[in-house]
Structure 1
Amino acid sequence: MIEATNIHKYYDELHVLKGVNLSISKGEIVSIVGASGAGKTTLLQILGTLDRPDTENGSSLIINGQDVLLLKDKALSKFRNQQLGFIFQFHQLLPEFTALENVCIPAYIAGKPKAETETEAKKLLEYLGLSHRINHKPTALSGGEQQRVAVARSLINKPAVIFADEPSGNLDTASAENLHKLFFKLRDEMGQTFVIVTHNEELANMADRKLVMSDGRILI
């Protein structure tokens, strides 16, 4: 599903990623852990096509059969919208829109019909236990509910891969545990591949595989 080869990233003179090689299979849940500054979020952003690696080292990044480093910006944006989903520590919901409207946004960007999109969004929110909250705006939802809306939004276009950056970092213990279990339920029932950066040891250890980063490299 993901094949990353010789991934380097510099910010001016700072060498953040130092030749990362990574292979992730379809339907696998992989956690990435390490101390702050190890390069975890930078790697996740590159794997998620939100940033580009420095390519003079012969880097390649193949996701679901597509070498994304060969795509121009417009094609890359389309690929990201259709193939990838994102969950962040801070849910990034738009406050002026309802839960239902927030979930629909990626599908609208993809040009999908409004009626079809709303039907699918309602199904996802019901699946996530939020059918009674679809017309509530983010400020009327708990932290756990907001994050589940963000999960539904990440799923609306049926992406091949979901990238999560500290997804439970802003949740209480019970909500975090529920979110962790949800990822595995989604993988088992919908077949998504998950790449999760986390400081939560419980979540990291639940993954099919835990990768440890240090100083811009994967140690394990």
Structure 2
Amino acid sequence: MIRAKNLHKYYDSLHVLKGVDLQIQKGEVVSIVGASGVGKTTLLQILGTLDQPHKQNDTLLEINGQSVLDLNDVALSQFRNTHLGFIFQFHQLLPEFTALENVCIPGFIAKREKATVEAEAKKLLTYLGLADRMQHKPSELSGGEQQRVAVARALINKPAVIFADEPSGNLDKTSAQNLHELFFKLRDEFGQTFVIVTHNEELANMADRKLTMVDGNIVTSN
């Protein structure tokens, strides 16, 4: 599903990723933990094609059998839109649009049929317990509801992989627990692969595997 080899990243003279290797199987829920500043979010952004590594001779990044480092910007954007989903600590919903409209946006970007996208968005929002909140704008939703809308948006194009960066970091304890349980329910029902950067030990320990980063590299996997 995901195969990465010798990933390096520099910001000026700062060497953030120092030759990361990893493999993640289809349907796995993998957490990435470590102290602030060790490169977790940088690694997630590179795995999610939001950033590029500094290529060495043997640098490799394959997702779902596709070597993404070989794609041009247009092809990479298309791949990201149709194969990958993203959930962030701050939901990043567009405030002027309703919950339903926010969920539909990636489907419209992919040029899918409007009626099909809207029907699937309604189904997802209903599945996530938001059937009566579809026409509400983000400011009218609770934090937990906003994050569930963001989850639905991440799922609308049926991505193979969902990348989550501190997804419960802005939620109260009950909402965070509900979100954590939802990830595993989604994996079991839809077969998605989840890669989650988190400081939440409870979520990290629920994962099938926990990768620990120290000083720009993965030091343990269990």
Q: TM-score, normalised by structure 1?
A: 0.99
Q: 2:209 maps to what in 1?
A: 209
The CA deviation string for residues 152-184 of structure 1, in whole angstroms up to 9 with x for no partner, is 000000000000000000000000000000000
8 A contact 1:107–1:156 mirrored in 2: yes
Q: 2:174 maps to what in 1?
A: 174
8 A contact 2:91–2:147 mirrored in 1: yes
- Per the alignment, in what secondary structure is the counterpart of residue 132 of structure 1? coil
Q: Distance in 1 between matches of 2:59 and 2:110?
A: 29
The answer to whether 1:159 aligns with 2:159 is yes
Matched letter for residue 98 of structure 2:
T
Q: 1:72 maps to what in 2?
A: 72
Matched letter for residue 9 of structure 1:
K
Unaligned ranges ≥5, structure 1 = none
Aligned length: 220
8 A contact 1:103–1:153 mirrored in 2: yes
Q: 1:24 maps to what in 2?
A: 24
Q: How much does 1:56 deviate?
A: 2.8
Q: Distance in 1 between matches of 2:169 and 2:21?
A: 27
The answer to whether 1:140 aligns with 2:140 is yes
Identity %: 77
Q: 2:63 maps to what in 1?
A: 63
Name segments (4+ residues, structure 1) moved above 2 Å: none
Q: Distance in 1 between matches of 2:103 and 2:143?
A: 16
Q: Distance in 1 between matches of 2:169 and 2:59?
A: 31
Q: 1:94 maps to what in 2?
A: 94
Matched letter for residue 84 of structure 2:
L
- Per the alignment, in what secondary structure is the counterpart of residue 53 of structure 1? coil
8 A contact 2:6–2:56 mirrored in 1: no
Q: Distance in 2 between matches of 1:22 and 1:48?
A: 14
Q: 1:114 maps to what in 2?
A: 114
Q: 2:126 maps to what in 1?
A: 126
Matched letter for residue 80 of structure 1:
R
Q: What pairs up with 1:30-69 in 2 under 5 angstroms?
A: 30-69=30-69
Q: 2:82 maps to what in 1?
A: 82
Q: Distance in 2 between matches of 1:137 and 1:198?
A: 27
8 A contact 1:33–1:197 mirrored in 2: yes
8 A contact 1:6–1:57 mirrored in 2: no
The CA deviation string for residues 103-146 of structure 1, in whole angstroms up to 9 with x for no partner, is 00000000001111100000000000001000000000000000
8 A contact 1:17–1:39 mirrored in 2: yes
Unaligned ranges ≥5, structure 2 = none
- Per the alignment, in what secondary structure is the counterpart of residue 145 of structure 1? helix
Q: Distance in 1 between matches of 2:198 and 2:148?
A: 17
Q: How much does 1:210 deviate?
A: 0.2
Matched letter for residue 50 of structure 2:
L
Matched letter for residue 2 of structure 1:
I
The CA deviation string for residues 172-206 of structure 1, in whole angstroms up to 9 with x for no partner, is 00000000000000000000000000000000000
Q: Distance in 2 between matches of 1:150 and 1:59?
A: 32
- Per the alignment, in what secondary structure is the counterpart of residue 131 of structure 1? coil
Q: CA RMSD in A?
A: 0.4
Q: How much does 1:57 deviate?
A: 4.3
8 A contact 1:8–1:57 mirrored in 2: no
Q: Distance in 2 between matches of 1:58 and 1:9?
A: 14
